[in-house]
Copies of this chain bind each other. A is one copy, B any other.
Amino acid sequence: MIIALAGGVGGARLANGLARILPPGELSVVVNTGDDFEHLGLHVSPDPDTVMYTLAGLNDAERGWGLAGETFACMEAVGRLGGESWFALGDRDLATHIERTRRLRSAETLSAITADFAQKLGITQAIVPMSDDKVQTRLQTPEGLLAFQDYFVRRRCEPAVTGMLFEGAEAAVPSPGFAALMRAPELRGIIICPSNPFLSIEPILAVPGVRGWLQNRAVACIAVSPLIGGKAVKGPAAKMMAELGLEATPQAIAKQYDGLIDGLVIDSADAAQAYGPCQITDTLMRGVPGQERLAREVLVYLGQLSPRQ
């Protein structure tokens, strides 16, 4: 069994490639919940939903978020009523947030709800929120401390980031599913997906017990760099690295995961900056075939590093 640690779009894409290659039940995707927030009184879980929609084949591949063929009638009506419409929630997507919010208020856990939704959508892989406790990513910027979605959506990643806070992380525990995975005897390897290391993976590592588990892992762990030619495919990873005083190179990614990985998968465009144990390939995933191709290469590389060297 393989664990993939994932955030949003890039992570979901590699997770989908892995899901399509590995036999049913042999992949568990542990997902960042640091981006979760309340909007319009609804609990929105952007990363778990992106992974869920992608694995269900329902995601909008072009837009990169939400559901394919989505409509936005409700949000338009919210705007007419004077409500907040800066964060677009599609009509079908809203169903996820409405049902999740209702069930959370009935004292069900985020991970139980996520598992049930995934099953209803025909997904045979486990989608496991990192924690059922509230962890909120906040960005230190010259404008002050910004909530993740304020930074990411409302301010379009424009403010310079000088640091991150994962509010609530110190008091959080891994979700029961994640805790069970950490101790699963059938675990064969761990893959850190090409998600933003600072915004998507770091919150997972901030949950007490997770970093130590990876440091003391008995199986191989590899990360896939989110950089291609020193840039992120999507999102602010490269911009943030510059703001944090880091070069957008494989070395900086490897240092970010120092002690946690046995090897790094990097793009050919970054081959000149290769650092430490590396697998060089084309990391851009073009469509589902591209996801499957990269997943296959990642699994081969993981196999080469197992048992852990």
Chain A interfacial positions (CB closer than 8 Å to B)? 40-42, 71, 73-78, 80-83, 90-96, 98-99, 101-102, 105, 116-117, 120-121
Contacts of A76 in B (CB 8 A): 92, 95
Name the CB-closest residue of B to A96. B81
Q: Give CA–CA (A41, B104) in the complex, Å.
A: 10
CB of A29, distance to nearest CB on chain B (Å): 19
Task: Report chain B residues within 8 Å CB of A77.
Answer: 91-96
Q: How far, in whole Å, are A40 and B120 apart by their CA atoms in the complex?
A: 18
CA distance A23 to B90 in the complex (A): 40
CA A71 to CA B77, docked complex, whole Å: 12
Contact B121 A80 (CB under 8 A): yes
Query: Would you give 26 A-B contacts (Cβ < 8 Å), ordered by A?
Result: A40-B102, A41-B98, A41-B105, A71-B73, A71-B91, A73-B91, A74-B91, A74-B98, A75-B95, A76-B92, A76-B95, A77-B94, A77-B95, A78-B95, A78-B99, A80-B120, A81-B99, A81-B117, A81-B120, A82-B99, A82-B116, A82-B120, A83-B99, A91-B94, A94-B98, A98-B98
For A101, list chain B residues within 8 Å (CB): 41
Tell me which residues across on chain B come within 8 A of A102, comparing CB atoms.
40-41, 83
In angstroms, Cα B94 to Cα A96, docked, is 14
Contacts of A83 on B, CB cut-off 8 Å? 95, 98-99, 102
Q: How far is the CA of A298 from the CA of B91 in the complex (A)?
A: 42
Which residue of B has the minimal Cβ distance to A69? Answer: B73
Q: Contact at A92–B117, with CB atoms within 8 Å?
A: no
When distances are taken between beta carbons in the complex, the residues of chain B under 8 Å from A41 are 98, 101-102, 105
Q: How far is the CB of A56 from chain B (nearest CB, A)?
A: 10
B residues near A82, Cβ cutoff 8 Å: 99, 116, 120
CA distance A111 to B98 in the complex (A): 24
CA A41 to CA B92, docked complex, whole Å: 17
Residues of B within 8 A of A121 (CB): 80-81
Bound state CA distance, A73 and B75, in angstroms?
Answer: 13
With A71-B73, A74-B91 already in contact, 13 other A-B pairs whose C-beta atoms are closer than 8 Å: A73-B73, A73-B92, A74-B92, A75-B95, A77-B96, A78-B98, A80-B121, A81-B95, A81-B99, A81-B120, A83-B99, A91-B94, A94-B98
